[in-house]
Structure 1
Amino acid sequence: MSELLARPIYLQRALSFRDTDLVKVVTGLRRCGKSSLLALVRESLQTEGLPDSSFVTLNLEDIGLGINTGNDLYDYCKAHLNPSGRTYIFLDEIQRIKGWHDAVNAMRVAFDCDLYVTGSNAFLLSSELSTYLSGRYVEVRMLPLSFEEYVYFCGVKLNASRTAGVTLSGEIVTCDDLMSRYLTYGGMPAIANLDVTQGMHEAYMAGLYDAVVVRDIFDRERHASKRLISNRETFDRLTRFLADNVGNQCSANSIANALESRGARVSRDTVASYLTALTDAYVFYPCERYDIHGKALLRTLPKYFLADVGIRSYLEGYRPSDVGRVFENAVFHELLYRGWSVHVGKLYGKEVDFVAVRDGRVVYLQVTDELFAEETRKRELDPLRSIRDNHEKAVIVRQGTYERDVDGIRILTPSEFFFGEYM
């Protein structure tokens, strides 16, 4: 669609720092919607009646602009400042401009302006932003679509109970069917529609994956880093291993041993470098463990979750396996999207899938595909029963109908969780 589709949570986060001297820097996985967010911010400001002279909008990958250096960028923006008020400056793909950070800092100081920028992840990592902008920026981290956003992008209008909906063509579709498609194809905005086939998704994800690996990781490592990243075959094997093991505890040692057992010779240091590169490029997000009894973070054996579960389908050949762990990945994604700080809980040898914290509220969460078998109920409920504090406890179950409360533990349907009724 050419029409911009709303992503209100990110729009609110970007606009919450409007008219401050902080540079708003939008980061996230390639193609997750960063450029569209800049357009949404501008569109929102224009509804206030601001004239066109209030805006400077540049896609710096357009070589026809003739902007190649920081001085060029500064001079262009200076020549197009609003003569009668504040100028809102939107700079997309800013990494192409040599010395961009000096130009942005200079504009922030010299102009009456409000600055918003995006760039390829390889050049806008948090560590580098701290060096370049030195505390003069705020980062707006974007993810691919949440499940609710995915439903909206697919043009589905849900019924009051959010168990089914109607498409733009009048077709009835159930929420379970939508969730199945979301867990298979993920939430990349450009292909979030009900007409996407496996072949279409595979072609799109192949281009995305190659762009991330070649541009955001290998090119950057070649030019700017001392990490041990040079072997594409080993890198692909490691990425597939992580995708296959979302929701499992991993360490550099355990991954190196697993890869060696499959015929790949790779050192722990190399694995650690590859893990860092994948998280720097926002392909995977680490989730550290938290000792519930000792109230302390544990620095060993984190879990890794994908930014978009569609990447797993592409890498794994669309095998319908381990739906429970893919569903857990979707829950993790949703918690990050809603602004929760998320950890894996540890309590006397037992594990709680997530400890979610936001604005002083703490929720312990288990995630499971179903609760039909007594063994499954015991596995999911016992760790929560073992926690002796008074914070909220809940289990999110993908399929089935159950009692709403078990020993003070809330049983949540996907609709209750993903549509914000509980979290």
Structure 2
Amino acid sequence: MSELVMRAEYINFLRRHRDKQVIKVVSGVRRSGKSTLFKLFQDELLSEGVNQSQIIAVNFEDISYHHLLNYMDLYQYLIDKIHPIEKTYIFLDEIQMIDQFEKVVDSLLLKDNVDLYITGSNAYFLSSELATLLSGRYVQLNMLPLSFKEFVTWHEQKGSNHSLPDLYEAYIQTSFPYAIRIDNPLERFEYLQGLYSTVVLNDIVKRMNIQDVGVLERIIAALFSSIGSLVTVNKIKNTLVSKGYKIAHQTIDRYVKGILDSLIMYEVKRYNIKGKALLESQSKYYTVDTGLRQLVLRDHLQDYGHILENIIYLELKRRGFEVYVGENNQYEVDFVAIAPDNSIEYYQVALSTLDESTLKRELRSLESIDDQYPKYLLTLDQFNQTANYNGIQKLNALQWLMGE
């Protein structure tokens, strides 16, 4: 168990909702740690005196459970195993593989002695469809691969004395939990290749019945290469046409939806700061793991500015913000982060602002905002790491990622 990464924030979510009459839903891209989270929580239950017979765990990626892919067969299997008196903890992993799974979980929720936990690896579990099916009877945790802080903490526990910049260099190779134990670059590449292929083939191609996998992968590459840049369907189409592909707008829309549903990428919409409204045209896209991007784009390995921006975006999501690309007059703000209480934070991200012209350009976007919400400039500068420019706080991005 010492090899497992303790995801404190996520395990605390399960603790808070334990034994409550709601379905605990954990969603996230494949291999982000959902199954391991369940294993850690099950071990905790056992250590607190819960008997093994009170825990039922089914992972539908395991072929030994494929006889349960029919929802009625699954329901009967679970009913036969539920403890007659004591609380039974049921964990159903990758339940999106079960057609009409909601009928099973609805029926289980009616039983007073069942505590139910499920995971899913596509955006169906982030959508209004799930809310309609389970209508107020669930709580949801959106799980991402390792944060930089979790990555650093694991290495420190293993006795690492590397500096934060060195660990950051390792972190951008991949943030998937299993991969941090792989020192060999070739083995890590093969692991990511297998993960990427599984997501593309199972969560996009198979789910959406896509015929032209080559075009799909071209679109993924186009989105990966454009992180940090505004993208339109027309821009993607022009890129494909320049490479000899003929494709309709509707097909690109459908393929992009499949990519987003697989949770390997996120769309970030534009937000008019002055008007407090979303803008429909153009979005930015960020990947769930920068290692996957490097896998697909072997010629973008030194694109450090956009990689840092991607990592800051994911961290803002982890901290519970709704994140948008800001527009204020003619200026663009990298991130407008809106908290659950509707308070706002503004972020500009740059590798370095030691050059005066770069500093002036990065500050200009934040200076154009005339409200009093906090404004931050995040960089990797080793010198002049912190400064205050008329209320705009400069911070070292690595320290910020560590929560300092």
1:375 shift after superposition:
1.4
Length-normalised TM-score, structure 2: 0.92
Q: Which residue of 2 aligns with 1:374?
A: 356
> Partners in 2 of 1:330 and 1:45 — Cα distance?
34
Q: Which residue of 1 aligns with 2:295?
A: 314
1:204–1:318 distance in 2 versus 1, CA, 3 Å: farther
> Partners in 2 of 1:172 and 1:12 — Cα distance?
28
1:218–1:275 distance in 2 versus 1, CA, 3 Å: same
Could you say what secondary structure the match of 1:118 adopts? strand
Contact 1:341-1:356 at 8 Å conserved across structures = yes
Runs of 4 or more, structure 1, over 6 Å off, are none
Between 137-146 and 212-221, report the one with greater CA deviation.
137-146
Q: Is 1:36 the equivalent of 2:39?
A: no
1:346 to 299, 312, 327: 327
Q: Which residue of 2 aligns with 1:25?
A: 25
Between 13-22 and 342-351, report the one with greater CA deviation.
13-22
> Partners in 2 of 1:128 and 1:213 — Cα distance?
22
1:318–1:10 distance in 2 versus 1, CA, 3 Å: farther
Q: Is 1:191 the equivalent of 2:179?
A: yes
Counterparts of 1:6-17 in structure 2, within 5 Å, are: 6-17=6-17
1:192 shift after superposition:
1.1
1:124 shift after superposition:
4.6
> Partners in 2 of 1:381 and 1:68 — Cα distance?
55
State the one-letter code of the partner of 1:148: K
1:254 shift after superposition:
1.6
1:215 shift after superposition:
0.6
1:148 shift after superposition:
0.9
Q: What is the aligned-residue RMSD (CA, Å)?
A: 2.1
1:141 shift after superposition:
1.2
1:232–1:138 distance in 2 versus 1, CA, 3 Å: same
Deviations 1:277-302 (A, max 9, x none): 11111011011111111111112211
1:400 shift after superposition:
2.8
Q: Which residue of 2 aligns with 1:410?
A: 393
Q: Which residue of 2 aligns with 1:182?
A: 171
Could you say what secondary structure the match of 2:302 adopts? coil
Could you say what secondary structure the match of 1:173 adopts? coil
Q: Which residue of 1 aligns with 2:232?
A: 251
Deviations 1:110-168 (A, max 9, x none): 35211101234387563542454344323221111111111233x225xxxxxxxxx53
Q: Is 1:396 the equivalent of 2:383?
A: no
Contact 2:123-2:263 at 8 Å conserved across structures = no
Counterparts of 1:17-416 in structure 2, within 5 Å, are: 17-64=17-64, 66-121=67-122, 124=125, 126-153=127-154, 155-157=155-157, 168=159, 172-183=161-172, 185-193=173-181, 196-222=183-209, 229-317=210-298, 319-358=300-339, 359-402=341-384, 403-416=386-399
State the one-letter code of the partner of 1:284: M
1:64–1:231 distance in 2 versus 1, CA, 3 Å: closer
Between 260-269 and 243-252, report the one with greater CA deviation.
260-269
> Partners in 2 of 1:44 and 1:297 — Cα distance?
43
Deviations 1:198-256 (A, max 9, x none): 3222211111111111110111112xxxxxx4211111111111111101111111211
Contact 1:22-1:115 at 8 Å conserved across structures = yes
Deviations 1:68-111 (A, max 9, x none): 43233222222222333322111123244454321221111135
1:179 shift after superposition:
0.7
1:267–1:240 distance in 2 versus 1, CA, 3 Å: same
Give unpaired runs (5+ residues) of structure 1.
Answer: 158-166, 223-228
Could you say what secondary structure the match of 1:321 adopts? coil
Deviations 1:299-343 (A, max 9, x none): 221110001111111011164322111100000011111111111
> Partners in 2 of 1:60 and 1:255 — Cα distance?
35
% identical aligned pairs: 37
